[in-house]
Amino acid sequence: MANNVAGIPVRRVSAEYFGDDAIDLQIIEVTLGLNRIARNKGDRDAKLMKVALSALRKAVEQYREESGERYPDFETFASWLEVKPESA
């Protein structure tokens, strides 16, 4: 459940990436120019998460339209996205 600050829901997301996933993340950050527009690491991560969340919403919506499933389970959806099981 999200915490509230002044009545606004707040959710902290924390993750560590290793190996190829870490390299892919750095490539995406450079491709999007996040280092140029972000004031600091926290700002960069917040901007990246904002874009990632928007992309994920679009992918879920596309999956729903194609499959007819309103609430896909994680494994099926990750497979549809072609996420490798060890990095999911």
pLDDT tens track for 31-42: 999 999 999 999
Task: Give the count of beta carbons closer than 10 Å to the beta carbon of residue 53.
Answer: 11
For the question of whether the overall pTM of this predicted structure is more than 0.85, the answer is no
pLDDT tens track for 59-71: 999 999 999 999 9
Per-residue DSSP letters for the chain? --EEETTEEE--------HHHHHHHHHHHHHHTHHHH-SSHHHHHHHHHHHHHHHHHHHHHHHHHHH--SS--HHHHHHHTT--GGG-
